[in-house]
Structure 1
Amino acid sequence: MDHIVLEIGLAIGLCVLAGILSIKLKFSVIPFYILVGMAVGPHAFHWGYLDFRFINSAELIDFFGRIGVLFLLLYLGLEFSVGRLIKSGKSIAVGGSIYIGINFTLGLLFGFLTGLPLAEVLIIAGITTISSSAIVAKVLVDLKRTANQETEMILGIIMFEDVFLALYISIVSGLVLSSSSSVGGVILSALIALFFMLGVLIVGRKIVPLLNRWLDIRSNELFLLVIFAALFLIAGFAETIHVAEAIGALLVGLVLAETNHAHRIEKLILPFRDFFGALFFFGFGLTIDPTALGGAVWMALIAVVLTLIGNFIAGMLAGRSAGIPPYASAKIGLTIVARGEFSIIMANLALAGGLAAIVQPFAALYVLILAILGPLLTKESKLVFRILDPIFGFNARHERRRSPKTSR
């Protein structure tokens, strides 16, 4: 195909079909977007005139996908804000630290065992550590679990992950995207990234009263233009100093969340987030060569097993630290096991840095498997706990810990 407008229209149509299929099968739409992109990408099968590959529009779709990431992280920043994070409490900080500590350690160990260089190991650890807030939020709503006792911990861990992600991408992007190969140059790039992040947050919170006045705009058109200008300027500037543009978008969201206009911004950008977000996952699928996935199968399967184990243990420990019963604690780890948009962001960072080609197919398979298993395990969390409880005696130990208190 050589007509860009037609290709974009077909891409959107394919995303619609993927969405309909996901609703019918009651699965997350993310793996369907990726699979459809893989099916029509430059590496897809074609035969003579039967060539449905997206080639001419691939670069434009990739740019739309970048915009989708900006809106996604802007929206996430608006969802919790720095103030809410500070007020989230000690239990969330402890639970988040447990979750990140276990999964990040397993990711590093797995990365080193693959024999890849340090930069690739750091990318893989990032891919395997951060769960998909989009999938988790959808699952909680679909299963009507938003009021459950473990949900506060789940949302708290997601918020904790977002902060970790901001710090981690800032450091890793300084290593991967820096033009300097010296240790001093890498450290300088990382420090610049960290100072940029802290500077935006500190200055942003100081000027919240000014922002409230500046954003007091009646016209939705002009209001959106102001928000978009701030988003693209700050994200673009972040990219010029070797900080991932996604972090610039997250910082903008964190600052705007402190204003009186946060709800209006969320409402107006939601359609943009969903539209460009769909093209982001579709565009990621375009970059995957299906013939290269075979080399990453065992690597992805081993990582999936480690993630399932790490998530379950982390969920149980995080729940225990907050006094949550074992069954509810098990649901914590099983609910946030899905990986998605953030893993893909890390994989794209590896692509931009020219790292080992295996990272892309590994990330694609890993995300696909967990994007499918995550919602399924969440839905069947009761069955999973019933199978594991007689083996490990979670409830028995919980009752023994409670009994002295009860007797008193």
Structure 2
Amino acid sequence: MDHLVLEIGLAVVLIAVAGLLSTKLKFSVIPFYILIGMAVGPHAPKWGVFDFRFIESAPLIEFMGRLGVLFLLFYLGLEFSVGRLIKSGKSIVVGGTIYIAINFTLGLLFGLASGLPFKEMLVVAGITTISSSAIVAKVLVDLKRTANPETEMILGIIMFEDVFLAVYISILSGLVLSGSSSFVGVAISALVALVFMLGVLIIGRKAVPLLNKALNIRSNELFLLVVFGALMVVAGFSETIHVAEAIGALLVGLVLAETEHMKRIEHMILPFRDFFGAMFFFSFGLTIDPTTLGGAVWLSLGAVVLTLIGNFVAGMLAGRSAGLSPKASVNIGLTIVSRGEFSIVMANLGKAGGLLAILQPFAALYVLILAILGPLLTKESKHIYNLLYRRKGKKAAQEQTQSPEPVAAEQREG
């Protein structure tokens, strides 16, 4: 522990160098953070007498990374409001159901085609179904797409995925760890998760006048303590009832977005979001063992291709069900293609249950590839849309020259 401060300082320097390099190359910063974490993580090789591995500080960096997820989702919630999500409730349920159904079915079929046993097949389906909340939030904020019309659907799908995750982990834990699963226990877990999320949104909206008074604090220090306290308590409590702590943070942001103090909170939270968000992706890289990835290359590449196809189709159908444009629908499918923390949780569950050892390197490589591809595809979604809809795009461009209003609408979707 003698060199803990030095290790944290070196980690921050490495993250800053990775950020500067990504800016120079005009590339998404997320893959750089992950790759630099892999290069200096506990699993990285030792170079002679020089040991650059982050071993002592790894648990602390991991905790700072967890804070990063909370701040990313909290900030994303601030960009919206409870009212906007409630108004889109029906389309979110339909879109979320479409997304889960397509990706989960493809995951099961992939596991079956790969010749995996039944339990391993269920774990693979879980790994390939759930998006990364942290990466999605980071991409939306970095690309300034929080005001886009399709972002409500993206947020809704993330929340819908969490309800599914609560149910699925309950079922999978019973099957993998104990060999059985109680239907009543699964039903209660799902109901508790759903009631908690709806309860926070409904009660939070009703409590806006009280929150306006409670947050009427002049001191920035006390103001931040109150906001951070609420964020940590709600996020921490949500985890105890099997709702991801990131979703708890998102809910707090959605509620506080309704208050008159939203702009002040947003302004003060920015430095924490950026710093701890970078630490999350670095810490994620620390957990990946590069030496185990080789044996899962073809399995991972096959799953990546299937996920790209499934997400694109699901995004198009979910967007169409909500009455969104083809361009917005393409954005949905490409934005939520990234996989991350939840996929690793699924793989760890398989390890705890003594399942095939291939699951962990498969999940690590699969997540790494999509963590790199996801932000890149999202950034280039406009070009991908133009490539897929070239003829329609030309026709639309001719119509836009005749009317200035559609042009403005198209720019807002960008």
Q: What TM-score results when the alignment is normalised by the length of structure 1?
A: 0.80
Q: Which deviations, in whole Å up to 9, do the C-alpha atoms of 1:182-205 show, x marking residues without a partner? A: 414444334333333333333323
Q: CA deviation at 1:140?
A: 4.1
Q: CA deviation at 1:112?
A: 5.1
Pick aligned residue for 1:351 from 348, 352, 363 = 348
Q: Which deviations, in whole Å up to 9, do the C-alpha atoms of 1:40-70 show, x marking residues without a partner? A: 1111100342111111111111111111122
Report the AA paired with residue 18 of structure 1. Answer: A
Q: CA deviation at 1:211?
A: 1.2
- Given that 1:170 and 1:247 are in contact with CA atoms closer than 8 Å, whether structure 2 keeps it comes out as no
Q: Which deviations, in whole Å up to 9, do the C-alpha atoms of 1:236-280 show, x marking residues without a partner? A: 223333433223222222222222222222221121111111111
Give the superposed CA RMSD.
3.6
Counterpart Cα distance in 1 of 2:98 and 2:213 = 41
Counterpart Cα distance in 1 of 2:240 and 2:313 = 40
Report the AA paired with residue 160 of structure 2. Answer: F
Q: CA deviation at 1:349?
A: 5.9
Corresponding position of 1:255: 255
Q: Structure 1 residues 169, 7: CA separation in 2 closer, same or farther (over 3 Å shift)?
A: same
Aligned residue for 2:80, secondary structure, equals helix
Query: Residue 137 in 1 paired to residue 140 in 2?
Result: yes
Q: Structure 1 residues 270, 358: CA separation in 2 closer, same or farther (over 3 Å shift)?
A: farther
Q: CA deviation at 1:333?
A: 5.5
Aligned residue for 2:15, secondary structure, equals helix
Corresponding position of 2:45: 45
Corresponding position of 2:272: 272
Aligned residue for 1:223, secondary structure, equals helix
* More displaced 10-residue stretch of structure 1: 112-121 or 203-212: 112-121
Q: Structure 1 residues 2, 209: CA separation in 2 closer, same or farther (over 3 Å shift)?
A: same
Counterpart Cα distance in 2 of 1:372 and 1:332 = 17
Mapping for residues 6-405 of structure 1, pairs under 5 Å: 6-88=6-88, 97-111=97-111, 113=113, 115=116, 117=119, 120-121=123-124, 123-127=126-130, 132-134=135-137, 136-137=139-140, 140-141=143-144, 151-153=148-150, 155-175=151-171, 182-183=181-182, 184-318=184-318, 320=320, 328=327, 331-332=330-331, 335-336=334-335, 338-340=337-339, 343-348=340-345, 350-351=347-348, 354=352, 358-378=358-378, 384=384
* More displaced 10-residue stretch of structure 1: 349-358 or 225-234: 349-358
Q: Which deviations, in whole Å up to 9, do the C-alpha atoms of 1:173-232 show, x marking residues without a partner? A: 545678986414444334333333333333323322211111111111101100111112
- Given that 2:64 and 2:276 are in contact with CA atoms closer than 8 Å, whether structure 1 keeps it comes out as yes
Q: CA deviation at 1:315?
A: 4.0
- Given that 1:130 and 1:165 are in contact with CA atoms closer than 8 Å, whether structure 2 keeps it comes out as no
Counterpart Cα distance in 2 of 1:108 and 1:82 = 34
Q: Structure 1 residues 95, 241: CA separation in 2 closer, same or farther (over 3 Å shift)?
A: closer
Counterpart Cα distance in 1 of 2:358 and 2:264 = 42
Counterpart Cα distance in 2 of 1:364 and 1:202 = 38
Counterpart Cα distance in 2 of 1:91 and 1:187 = 24
Aligned length: 386
Q: Structure 1 residues 80, 386: CA separation in 2 closer, same or farther (over 3 Å shift)?
A: closer
- Given that 1:22 and 1:29 are in contact with CA atoms closer than 8 Å, whether structure 2 keeps it comes out as yes
- Given that 1:136 and 1:335 are in contact with CA atoms closer than 8 Å, whether structure 2 keeps it comes out as no
Which structure 2 residue ranges, 5 or more long, are not aligned?
397-414
* More displaced 10-residue stretch of structure 1: 305-314 or 19-28: 305-314
Aligned residue for 1:53, secondary structure, equals coil
Counterpart Cα distance in 2 of 1:146 and 1:17 = 27
Counterpart Cα distance in 1 of 2:319 and 2:245 = 34
Counterpart Cα distance in 1 of 2:146 and 2:202 = 32
- Given that 1:124 and 1:359 are in contact with CA atoms closer than 8 Å, whether structure 2 keeps it comes out as no
Counterpart Cα distance in 1 of 2:242 and 2:387 = 48
Counterpart Cα distance in 1 of 2:28 and 2:35 = 12
Counterpart Cα distance in 1 of 2:237 and 2:385 = 48
Q: CA deviation at 1:160?
A: 1.9
Report the AA paired with residue 167 of structure 1. Answer: V
Report the AA paired with residue 331 of structure 2. Answer: I
Corresponding position of 1:404: none
Q: CA deviation at 1:137?
A: 2.0
Counterpart Cα distance in 2 of 1:94 and 1:187 = 20
Aligned residue for 2:273, secondary structure, equals helix
Aligned residue for 1:152, secondary structure, equals coil
Q: Which deviations, in whole Å up to 9, do the C-alpha atoms of 1:289-315 show, x marking residues without a partner? A: 111111322222112111222233334
